[in-house]
Amino acid sequence: MKPEFQAKFLQHLNKKKQDGGFTLIELLVVIIIIGILAAIALPSLLAQSNKARQSEARNNIGTLNRAQQAYFLEKSSFATGADAFADLGVGIAPKTTNYQYEISSSDPAKLAGNFGLPLNPNILKAYAGVVYVTDVGSQKATQALACESKGAGVTTAPTISTGSCPTDFIDLGK
């Protein structure tokens, strides 16, 4: 190759390296596109995060319901009061990062309520479990319901009754 062509070729390659960056407008367009995509994805991400937090309460209420049924088989009454969590022996703490759990009953021989009340009621739903005694022929059996509040905002344990979810709650089994 002739030396003058080599020199021109090297000058061309050197100039190409100097012009290799992005312009400010190109960078701004990319940043704006990333911002739009983030704005679209963030609400969906937060909703999934809340569903994950709520699954904790849903699982714990189901566990408390089953433990109440087992306890009733042994003691012919439901576990209530200050020692109810220890009596049931399920290893659920009365208070976690997202929920506070309560166990109560107006008549421990017939009915028990297990409640998961959100510590952040503005974004999380509440959960209730109802375990009650029914007559099957000449024997007694227990039935359990798991219920979810229709929306966020529940801060106190609702009134429970035999065979149905509390007012403003829906049955998760249906």
pTM: 0.75
d(CA 3, CA 30): 43
Contacts of 26 (CB under 8 A, 6+ apart): none
**Percent of the chain residues topping a pLDDT of 90:** 56
Q: How far, CA to CA in Å, does 98 sit from each of 37, 40, 58, 121, 125? A: 29, 26, 12, 10, 11
Alpha-carbon gap, residue 168 to 43, rounded angstroms: 26
pLDDT per residue as tens digits for the range 77-107: 999 888 899 999 999 999 999 999 999 988 8
